[in-house]
Structure formats: C-alpha cells, structure tokens
Amino acid sequence: MAIFTGAGVAIVTPFHEDGSINYDKLDELIDFHCEKKTDCIIICGTTGESATMTEEEHMDCVKFTIDRAKGRIPVVAGTGSNCTRTAIDMSKEASEYGADGLLLVTPYYNKATQNGLIAHFTAVAKEAKAPIIMYSVASRTGCNIEPATVAELVKNVDNIVGIKEASGNISQIAKIMAMTDGKVDLYSGNDDQIVPILSLGGKGVISVLSNVAPDETHDICEKFFNGDIAGSAALQLKALPLVEQLFCEVNPIPVKKAMQLMGVDCGPLRMPLTEISKAHEETLAKAMKEFGIKLA
C-alpha cells in the first residue's frame, strides 16, 4: 500500500523575523492542511528550506509535525543528505518519531555514480525502517536517478517503495514505470505534470501548489482516479499560469509571498534566499486572482 495517494503538500517552514522557526504558525499550517483535502504533509523538503536548517532544527521540525498531525494524515519527513551517515541518522530518528515515510533526495554537490546511489539508498534503507521515497531532482542536485537504478533499488530493497520524479523528463519517467513493471509508487515532483504522471500510473504529487490551493490540487488527482480524466486535465491546465508564477523565482521564494498575499504570513526566507522582486510579486498576485484565490 502506498504511503499516500493524491496531493501531498511540500509544506513551507514559517520563521520569526529573527530567523527562528515559528512553531505556532507551523501548528496552524498543519491544522489547515489536515482540515483541507491535503492527502499528506511532507516536512523539511526543499520548499521547507531544509538546506538552511541545523540538524537539530530539522529533526525538531519533523517531530513537531508528526506529533501535531496526530495521525490525521500521513507525514513524510525529508531526511536526505549528501552525507550518507547523516541521511542514515536523520532517517532513523524520523522513523523512531513515527514518520509514515521518508523522502530522500539524491546526494548533492559531491553527487554520486549510479552505483554510488544504489549503495547510498541501500545503506539508509537498511537502518531506517520507514518506507522510503527517493527524490530525483537533478536541476538542484546535479545527480539524476536513472531508470535502471530505480528498478534495481525497488526490486531489491523492501522499504524503498517510491520515487518523487522532478526531472521533467516524461520519457525517463515512462521508462521507470516500464522497467519496474509499474511496481513503484510514482509521485510527480512538478505541479505542471501531475496529469501526465498519473497517466503513467502515478500515485499523486508532492506539491508546492498545495500550499496555496490544497483542495484544487487534491481534486486534480481525485478526478483522475475517479475516471474524470477530462475534468482532471481541465484543472491541471487552469493551474498552469499559477504554477508558472510559483516558480518565477527559486522555490520557495514565490510560494511564501503567495501565502503572505493570502494573509498567511510565514515570515522571512533564510539567506541565501531573498525576497521576491516587485515585478514578480505583481505577476504572482495577478495569477492568483485569475485562479480564484482571494487575496488579503
């Protein structure tokens, strides 16, 4: 059984003006998503600015989210690292806290060969017992998970169950599904490719869009699963201008501004991310209004 099906939110991390984590606001966001149609919370991913967190902050955030979600919806913890030992330690800790799953990004900067990726993911899976979703996003990490590597890991390691595919390469994604006989839980890592990936047997999306439009993102998936392919596609296409604006600058710069425009102030970004430009703020607000999101 998949960790979740549908739309999981790659949740932002709210900060106080001094840069510390705003747990009161995070608590509000967790409640918001549990009360909406969000199907899963993914904490401490790229959108959550995990790259700027200390390990202590990272794991405190994971534990807080698991405790506050209280089993209402699944929680997947981002526990990837470019250091295998660090990824093992964080993954073990998140598993002990009760994470429903782990999201492991490929090692970044030092990267790895495909054999290195097999060794890395296998080592983490051996010690952390929660189900693992691999995360392939070469545009950020410089390291792609090839289809043959996905197939080997899914077939040979029991608790490696899925992949978040953000390569943007539909041909690669189709090859993954062919080489695994469809026996991998496939999630879109791109909000503009939800329907194409569902059509290949995907289970859903790990979504930035869900931060501002959780019900609509869920509905794209639900309509598809219920056989309303035309309705699902129509929602996907309607969302494209907004999705484009949510990535007009480096994620999560635009989505945090979008939430502020909705009246949900999640505080500043951590350096080296900086505030959105005025021109992009205006085009973002316009896309939000056209999508039907009420601004504060």
Catalytic position from the list 92, 111, 129, 164: 164
Asked if 187 is an active-site residue, the reply is no
The CA distance from 23 to 29, in Å, is: 10
pLDDT at residue 3 is higher than 90: yes
CB-count exposure of residue 107 (10 Å: 0-12, 13-18, 19+): buried
Beta strands 101-105 and 132-136 are parallel
Catalytic position from the list 92, 97, 129, 135: 135
pLDDT at residue 206 is higher than 90: yes
**Chain segment 33-70, per-residue pLDDT in tens:** 999 999 999 999 999 999 999 999 999 999 999 999 99
Instruction: Tell me, yes or no, if the pTM score tops 0.95.
Output: yes
Of all residues in the chain, the percent with pLDDT exceeding 70 is: 100
**Chain segment 126-146, per-residue pLDDT in tens:** 999 999 999 999 999 999 999
Closest among 255, 256, 245 to 279, alpha carbons compared: 245
Which DSSP symbol is given to 190?
S
What mean pLDDT is predicted for residues 184-210? 98
**Chain segment 219-244, per-residue pLDDT in tens:** 999 999 999 999 999 999 999 999 99
Closest among 248, 270, 294, 281 to 61, alpha carbons compared: 270
Angle between helical axes of 253-261 and 278-291 (0-180°, round to 10): 60
What mean pLDDT is predicted for residues 251-266? 98
pLDDT at residue 217 is higher than 90: yes
Which residue type sits at 233?
A: A
Closest among 134, 130, 223 to 180, alpha carbons compared: 134
* CATH code reported for the domain at 6-230: 3.20.20.70
**pLDDT for res 1:** 84
